[in-house]
Amino acid sequence: MERISTLKATAEAAPNTGKTPVIELRDVTKVYQLGEVEVRALRGVSVDIEAGEYVAIVGPSGSGKSTLMNIIGCLDQPTSGSYRLAGSEVADLDDDQLADIRNRRIGFVFQTFNLLARTPAIDNVELPLVYNGSDHRRDKATEALETVGLGERVHHHPNELSGGQQQRVAIARALVSQPAIILADEPTGNLDSKTGIEIMETFEQLHQQGLTVIMVTHDLDVAERAQRIIHLFDGQVAEDERLRDRSPAQQAPRVRSSEDDRTGVISVVESLHIALRSLSANKMRSFLTVLGIVIGVAAVIGMLSLGRATREALMAQIQQIGTDLIFVQPGSTERGGARSAAGTAITLTDEDAEAIASRIPSPLVVNAVPEVTSSEQIVYAGANMNTRITGTTPGYEGARQFYTAEGVFFTREDLAAHRPVAVLGQTVVDELFGDVDPIGKQIRVRNTPFKVIGVMEEKGGTSFANQDEVILVPLTTAKTRLSERTRYRGAYSVSLINVQVGDSAYIDRVMDEVTTILRERHDLKSSDEDDFVLLSQREVLDVANEMMSIFTTFMGGVAGISLIVGGIGIMNIMLVSVTERTREIGIRKAVGARRQDILSQFLTEATVLSLCGGIIGVALGFLASQAASGTDMGGYTLEPSVGLDSVLVATIFSMAIGLFFGIYPARRAARLNPIDALRYE
């Protein structure tokens, strides 16, 4: 205690030039809270430093030298006391103003160099200029490196440079913004004696150029090169010693005008450049990070294109059934408290079809064609197959727009005579006859021979049935020889009645008249429900379209979940990246990066990741769609196409995912305290 009092007295007796100081510290304290323990790094430090001075701050380890340097450099804030820089109270400055001071008015030279790994020397030196929007940055960085004797090492990475060369890069970075103050923390601590002397000569030259140089060191031999030595002991100024006055040859102190202050923030192009450089440094991790986005976008593109193609195929197949059709099915009747499903009840007969055709004149109804369907085993020579046999009338061709390609369709004479003749679908021909011409041949159904008189054109299939896998026979023949359908109201029941409407404009009117006729024929009271179901082809198309829309939306939702999972992966990796690059963030803030600069950088990285994933996903989705092209869907060839809307939706959504899930890591990075980030291990 006696020694500290003596040193204090010496400090108070230090000469005062009477000039306005550029740095004024009054009763500055700094207390660190380590759990329940308080560590007092500074205990009421009061120091004035004039512009153009060369000052060394010395003291043993733990004396508070580096803490004082960090406060002077606006990397840290005092717990109490006043710090005025060039007449401005630092405590009143916001984060952007502090960043501006670190960028333009103070240059840092750190003991551990604090250079960005995997980054060439010229890019390290250029870093402060990136954050102040300077023009001709490359030229200025090159000039700064040449000033410190590294003109031939501009493209070398830190691991390719010696300790002295790395320190020179750090000095060049500190000088490139032409600051008024240079702060050096143990600049020779990691260097050999020869290199240390060279570095100190560099600082002396900077001082001779008019810069204010403040150096922290524990080496008194190094400190004695300065004009003034401030001794710290236990967080207090123990002695303030002036060794020599300013040299008469020294230039006037450098002073920055307000016109030098930057006005903008880092540009989008620069953020993109930094992001690409950071991501390229970890290519494999970046790829694995975007894998979820790639899968999600590829799934979205693939599902949408395939869904669209499938919908088109389904619509085309349904339309092939026939245009302007009304399907009348038995069912939907209450029996014993249970409702029969459409098509399963026995409430329609061939006479109902005749009544519809006769009572509703053309052009409202062109024809009413009944059907009775059963599944049978068909035999020809040594071949056999199970297929659908449909008994119908000659009007079937026109109603269903399903015509013979070879031979003839059965006639009304065949119908009246109950002749065992058959017209085959193309699939049946292929299965039973192969390359043999089936016309005139006989097939057996339930041991009953049927003569093949025609082959239907190839129609293709729907998602419900293959229209080519059918055998058409006269309705009367099916009733008497094949069908096991029971009689209803004295007539044979049928499975379906196809009502062919003359014009689609008449469909609603025809449906009303069909309903009236059938209710009259079935003796239904006004309180009774219909015992039949009417469904127009237009309704079938609407239902199928709605089903496909639901299916496509569902699959798109599943793919969207993949995108969200990919976004979570990006957020997780970005959080890891923030942790791994905490020291880098500290370096960037130390050279003048603002919060919005760091925020922009990490958001850009997240967006670039997701956008790259989106682009790769679009390409994979397109390839998947092309791979599915030509797939047979029941006789209809799928031709999926990737629409511009799908690409835009997937790309924009992937970018939005990157932005959304990148916000939290980016905000976390932006809010890091510079000194805490620099100290992070």
The model's pLDDT over 499-558, given as tens digits with 9 standing for 90+, comes to 988 887 888 899 999 999 999 998 888 888 888 999 887 777 677 677 777 777 777 677
Q: Is residue 538 domain-resident?
A: no
pLDDT at residue 455 above 70? yes
Q: Is residue 270 domain-resident?
A: no
**Same domain? 255 vs 112:** yes
d(CA 532, CA 574): 63
Judge contact between 209 and 36, C-beta under 8 A. no
Query: pTM here?
Result: 0.64
User: Can you give the pLDDT at residue 314?
Assistant: 65
pLDDT at residue 3 above 60? no
The per-residue pLDDT for range 149-167, each reduced to its tens digit, is 898 999 999 999 998 899 8
DSSP string, 379-434: EETTEEEEEEEEEE-TTHHHHHT--EEEE----HHHHHHT--EEEE-HHHHHHHTT
User: Can you give the pLDDT at residue 215?
Assistant: 93
The total number of residues shown for the chain amounts to 681
User: Can you give the pLDDT at residue 81?
Assistant: 95
User: Can you give the pLDDT at residue 133?
Assistant: 81
User: Can you give the pLDDT at residue 258?
Assistant: 41
Residue that finishes a domain, picked among 500, 530, 560: 530
Q: Is residue 62 domain-resident?
A: yes
User: Can you give the pLDDT at residue 625?
Assistant: 78
The per-residue pLDDT for range 90-137, each reduced to its tens digit, is 999 999 999 999 999 999 998 888 998 888 999 999 999 988 888 888
Q: Note down the domain range covering 502.
A: 346-530
Q: Is residue 256 domain-resident?
A: yes
Q: Is residue 144 domain-resident?
A: yes
Interval 644-658 mean pLDDT: 78
181-185/212-217 β-pairing: parallel
Burial class (CB in 10 A: 0-12, 13-18, 19+), 53: buried
Residue linked to tokens 């501009």: 154
Residue that finishes a domain, picked among 530, 559, 577: 530
d(CA 250, CA 217): 23
Q: Is residue 334 domain-resident?
A: no
The better pLDDT of the pair 398, 421 is held by 421
The per-residue pLDDT for range 414-435, each reduced to its tens digit, is 999 999 999 999 999 999 998 8
Find the helix or strand (DSSP H, E) in which 71 lies.
Answer: helix 65-72
Q: Give the sign of the dihedral formed by CA 631, CA 636, CA 639, CA 643.
A: negative
**Same domain? 485 vs 612:** no
CATH of the domain at 190: 3.40.50.300
**Same domain? 221 vs 127:** yes
381: Cα separation from own chain's centroid: 61
**Same domain? 666 vs 626:** yes
Per the structure, the count of domains in the chain is: 3
**Same domain? 291 vs 364:** no
The better pLDDT of the pair 642, 295 is held by 295
**Same domain? 503 vs 577:** no
User: Can you give the pLDDT at residue 340?
Assistant: 47
Distance (Å) of CA 314 to CA 233, 462, 637? 87, 6, 11
Judge contact between 605 and 578, C-beta under 8 A. no
pLDDT at residue 492 above 50? yes
Residue that finishes a domain, picked among 482, 509, 530: 530
User: Can you give the pLDDT at residue 659?
Assistant: 83
Q: Is residue 333 domain-resident?
A: no
Q: Is residue 285 domain-resident?
A: yes
d(CA 579, CA 582): 5
**Same domain? 118 vs 207:** yes
Question: pLDDT-derived band of residue 6, with 50, 70 and 90 as boundaries?
Answer: very low
**Same domain? 516 vs 656:** no
- Among 258, 278, 274, which residue's Cα sits nearest to residue 137? 274
| Phi and psi angles of residue 113, each rounded to the nearest 5 degrees, phi first | 70, -45
Question: pLDDT-derived band of residue 342, with 50, 70 and 90 as boundaries?
Answer: very low
**Same domain? 510 vs 574:** no
d(CA 669, CA 651): 26
Q: Which two tokens stand for residue 651?
A: 């790309």
pLDDT at residue 316 above 80? no
**Same domain? 430 vs 575:** no
d(CA 625, CA 618): 10
Evaluate the omega torsion of the peptide bond into residue 363 and state whether it is cis, within 30 degrees of 0: yes
Interval 305-327 mean pLDDT: 69
Provide the residue type at 196 as one letter.
Answer: G
The better pLDDT of the pair 39, 542 is held by 39
DSSP string, 476-517: HHIIIII--PPEETTEEB-SEEEEEES-GGGHHHHHHHHHHH
- Among 377, 456, 365, which residue's Cα sits nearest to residue 410? 456
User: Can you give the pLDDT at residue 26?
Assistant: 95
d(CA 187, CA 325): 92
The whole-chain average pLDDT of the chain stands at: 82
**Same domain? 549 vs 525:** no
User: Can you give the pLDDT at residue 339?
Assistant: 46
**Same domain? 110 vs 205:** yes
pLDDT at residue 14 above 50? no
pLDDT at residue 587 above 70? yes
Residue linked to tokens 């699939």: 427
- Among 1, 73, 62, which residue's Cα sits nearest to residue 32? 62
